[in-house]
Structure 1
């Protein structure tokens, strides 16, 4: 097969990296087109994954006006590739697929009902035209006959034990003795279309959070946006593509970004999250909190800071979270193995909607 893959964000880079490698290992040709949002290009370069840069990084308002040109650039690059299929996270990939008259598959973990109209309106438009809409089974919203629910999360495409083993060499990069406790703070830039009207920690909150946690553990910061000068010297001194090693060994993660929250959860690292839309949250975060007890969600940053301090003071925290993670892995499958099977067998694979654990996956996608 000849497959086009759209990668628009850092999270999508991680999602597709093992899928692309496995497809290529199975003899397929994969052509990646990527948008330079955040650290997307930096991650792709660090992972030595070839790509065609079809879009720059406009701000949220400019992204609307740049959309036609971005679509045309992606179309022109892919039009002579004789593709059999296009995969992506929707809108861009679906539009180009229709222009090329090629089947497409969309993976979606952002539930439109919890986001503002700037995301929900285009989503509800493009999903009518995509061939298949793959979502986690925890999705709270029903999206029609094209929706295929999978007992997994986006993050288990790259953090499932089948694909990820944390490297303890990260302690050397952090300048800490191996096995030391530390906290990771991960802050969002809120520059995506689905972030309009959403906020997390303010500058004052970030400073307070650092000062409170540093009474007990060293603190490192990873941020998509700016960081107050007062705490800038805590910025993480490791390559961007090593972030999951940092998350894996941290005693605690505190964040206002959704993906990092789930990443911490599936790695068995205690996580505290503060975002304004928590009260109308997506199913994956509700499930990780209410069913598995792996994270804590708050609307008010002050409450999140208080919970973070309470947790970091507990000596047996990581041991208890390891047991919770094992329960999670017993219930969830390897998303990379599923997506490779789904792509290779599409459109026949779409006929087993609602039954993602099937015989073709039994050898690779069982419980972790």
Structure 2
């Protein structure tokens, strides 16, 4: 069975990385990986040593025109590859493979963790052509519910479940990080669904750094984009592959990144999200209101964020409290890598099983 994975974001690749390793070790499976340039995606693949093809080496622009033009280019780049080396199944979060899969009668599984209303443009371009939409149970996929296969978990558990990931304290020692530090993650906000969305600006960053230092913690900035020179002394300079180990031993994450907030929750690290997306994403709403692992604030509520920072950083046994919350979450969620490997290896029969007996997935809870 030949499987083609297409990745346009580091989190998408990380979700499937452990599954790809397992499939590559099976004699009856062949895996092909296509990517486009995005953040540290190519760096991660190089580190892991997987063969891949980068079909768009240059990062696209930020305008709607650039996004549409990029989709056309991906279609033209991928089509001849499919005609020459036809896969049995395609997996990814992209309209191009869904559209080309429909054209060439190749099954396509679209993976997502975002609600349709948040990624409406991508959904309209992708879901009509997908055979299956594989996503957490909590996600909403609009009028394509008949194509949805929901699982008890999150995409981030594909690479941060304890059966897959073990934090290494040696990484902390390598970078000589202190016992008490807070990560400030600044997203680039250039995705198709980020138009008009605001996050942390320089003025608010100044206030948060002062508050963090005032409580005896070291602020460390991780940014997808260039930052003002006055913040360079706080930059977290590490290998991308070490990021989750550094996050695992942090005391708090503050960010305007939805993705990293979910990652922190999987590791039992409290997070504060400052973004226009607060209150709009089902996965994060569940993590906030059911498991109390993250806290979302819309742009403009700076004072509320500063108060929450103070409340968390002065809380006794902060790490122990949030590790217990993580344990509760894991007791109700599947080992996503084990589930995904089963789902792919047995597709499309696995989809039928999940439709008629969704409790079958409980065998992957451990």
Same fold per superposition (TM over 0.5): yes
1:251 is aligned to 251
2:164 is aligned to 163
- 1:197 matched to 2:196? The reply is yes
1:256–1:273 contact (8 Å) kept in structure 2:
yes
2:175–2:238 contact (8 Å) kept in structure 1:
yes
1:16 is aligned to 16
Greater alpha carbon shift after TM alignment, 47-56 vs 151-160: 47-56
- 1:59 matched to 2:58? The reply is no
2:253–2:272 contact (8 Å) kept in structure 1:
yes
CA separation in 2, counterparts of 1:135 and 1:301? Answer: 33
1:140–1:282 contact (8 Å) kept in structure 2:
no
Cα shift readout 1:80-122 (whole Å, capped 9, x = no counterpart): 2231100001312212322432111111111121x2xxx4134
1:207–1:230 contact (8 Å) kept in structure 2:
no
Question: Aligned pair in 2 of structure 1 residues 9, 122: CA closer, same or farther (>3 Å)?
Answer: closer
SS of match in other structure, 1:200: coil
After the TM superposition, which parts of structure 1 deviate over 6 Å for at least 4 consecutive aligned residues?
Answer: none
1:294 is aligned to 293
The alpha carbon displacement at 1:356 in A equals 4.4
Aligned length: 357
1:132 is aligned to 132
The alpha carbon displacement at 1:357 in A equals 4.8
2:232 is aligned to 232
SS of match in other structure, 2:114: coil
SS of match in other structure, 2:145: coil
1:29 is aligned to 30
The unaligned stretches of length 5 or more in structure 1 are: none
CA separation in 2, counterparts of 1:286 and 1:122? Answer: 21
Instruction: Please point out which of 109, 115, 119 is paired with 1:105.
Output: 109
SS of match in other structure, 1:221: strand
CA separation in 2, counterparts of 1:337 and 1:224? Answer: 31
TM-score by length of 2: 0.93
- 1:174 matched to 2:175? The reply is yes
Matches within 5 A, 1:251-290: 251-279=251-279, 281-290=280-289
1:147 is aligned to 148
2:114–2:283 contact (8 Å) kept in structure 1:
no
SS of match in other structure, 2:11: helix
- 1:70 matched to 2:74? The reply is yes
TM-score by length of 1: 0.92
1:348 is aligned to 349
The unaligned stretches of length 5 or more in structure 2 are: none
CA RMSD of aligned residues (A): 1.7
2:183–2:254 contact (8 Å) kept in structure 1:
yes
1:91 is aligned to 95
2:183 is aligned to 184
The alpha carbon displacement at 1:60 in A equals 2.7
